[in-house]
Amino acid sequence: MVFKSARVLIFGLGLITGCGGPLPPQDPFNLGEAKDSLSRGNYWYERGCFREALNFYQSGLESARLSDNILLVIRAQNSLGAAALAEGDQNAAGAYLEQALNITSGHPEQPELDKVLGNLGALAFQMNRPKDAEDFWLKAAQTAEDRKISAASYYCDLARLYLDLQRIGDFNSMTDRALKAAEINPHDRFTLADAFNLAGHQAKIAGDPVKAEDYFRQALELDRETENTAGLAQDTEALGNLMIGLERYSEAAGYLDRAFFLWLAGNRDRNADRVLSVLQKLSKTHNHPQKIEPYQAARRDPAPHRLSNQCP
């Protein structure tokens, strides 16, 4: 499973508008530098260039400290934790997120608390501590609810955790909550796509492949719009496996081909191995795909297929 808990915020750069329009207020130097660096970090983070993101987030943190802007300090620490986690550096991620939690916990308004807790949940899951992950995500969801913020993304995380643990009753109830909350805020296409994907799994488990396919396709369309690599991989893999159950083997091979290379692109090698195993079985049993060697070769040498090839 993939959990989409890396929560970083996009900062506007204050572009100058056309003739006659008022100029935006001028930020002091360090505050402007902090916002600019964090925005650039988000740009690279979204493109899978996590080392570049880390550099900009670190620069943003230093500028935020110099401007004594507590909110931006917390956002920078949380963003550093998310990027380190995406890089697979659990120790660094834990240190950054612990600092963010300490700072926000000591502030009267506890800004960004739900986002920091959400990332701590993702870290706990990556460390194979599902009970801790559940606790963090439940706290993140409750914090968001208390502040009248959408908790849909945390419901999605919890639903995926319950699916991974085969707690189907909890999975069903949390998926219902995630879908309802996500549909209230359709502008968050990232989370809505995740909720649709979960609803597809729910329908598949309930024995309704038509409904499952419809949800998976809705998720796929939304993830295409945002070019969400992990989401696209989840959607195509889900559709590929669904097609196998429907005996539509040629379609299954096509979806699984896409899922395999999408997982490779995002450095999700264990997920790529899972898809490769299905492709091998599908090829042997139904001759779709006809040749498995290109996938095996790509798995032996994944470097040319990585997103990081597009990074500076």
What does the alpha-carbon distance between residue 250 and residue 252 come to, in Å, rounded to a whole number? 5
Q: How many beta carbons lie within 10 A of that of residue 163, not counting itself?
A: 20
Retrieve residue 31's tokens. 């505050």
Q: d(Cα 265, Cα 252) in Å, to the nearest integer?
A: 20
Mean pLDDT of 240-265: 98
Mean pLDDT over residues 166-178, rounded? Answer: 98
Asked if the model's pLDDT at residue 307 lies above 90, the reply is no
Of 201, 163, 152, 166, the closest CA to residue 5 belongs to: 152
User: How far is Cα 206 from Cα 248, in angstroms, rounded to an integer?
Assistant: 20
> At residue 14, does pLDDT exceed 90?
no
pLDDT tier at 236, thresholds 50, 70, 90 = very high
| pLDDT of amino acid 8 | 53
Identify the residue whose tokens are 């004594």: 68
- Total Cβ atoms within 10 A of residue 227: 10
**In the predicted structure, residue 250 carries a pLDDT above the cut 60:** yes
What's the mean pLDDT when you consider all of the chain? 93
pLDDT tier for residue 310 given thresholds of 50, 70 and 90 = confident
State the average pLDDT over residues 91-101: 98
Q: How confident is the model at residue 4 (pLDDT cuts 50, 70, 90)?
A: low
Residue that wins the pLDDT comparison between 16 and 89: 89
Please tell me what DSSP assigns to residue 25.
P
Given a cut of 80, whether residue 182 has pLDDT beyond it is yes
pLDDT digit string, tens, across residues 261-275: 999 999 899 999 999
CA distances from 3 to 99, 111, 120, 163 (A): 22, 23, 12, 12
pLDDT at residue 309, rounded to an integer:
83
pLDDT at 22: 57
In angstroms, the CA 154 to CA 193 distance is 14
Angstrom distance (rounded) from CA 155 to CA 239: 22
pLDDT at 174: 98
- The span from the CA of 201 to the CA of 237, in Å, is 11
Instruction: Give me the pLDDT at residue 53, please.
Output: 97
Q: Give the residue-averaged pLDDT of 225-238.
A: 96
In the chain, what's the furthest Cα-to-Cα distance?
A: 69
Say whether pLDDT at 86 is over 90. Answer: yes
Q: Hey, is 312 helix, strand or coil?
A: coil
Short-list 85, 80, 71, CA closest to 113: 71
Average pLDDT estimate for 188-215: 98
Residue 278 has pLDDT above 50, yes or no: yes
* Distances, alpha carbon 19 to alpha carbons 13, 16, 22, 27, in Å: 19, 9, 9, 21
Q: Which residue has the higher pLDDT, 24 or 158?
A: 158
The reported pTM is 0.90
Residue 26: predicted pLDDT: 83
The predicted structure's pLDDT at residue 263: 97
**For residues 134-151, average pLDDT:** 97
Question: Taking 60 as the threshold, does the pLDDT of residue 23 lie above it?
Answer: no
CA dist., res. 191 & res. 156, Å (int): 8
Whether pLDDT at 13 is above 70:
no
- pLDDT tier at 2 (50, 70, 90 boundaries)? low
Average confidence (pLDDT) over 95-104? 98
Distance CA 112, CA 99 (A): 13
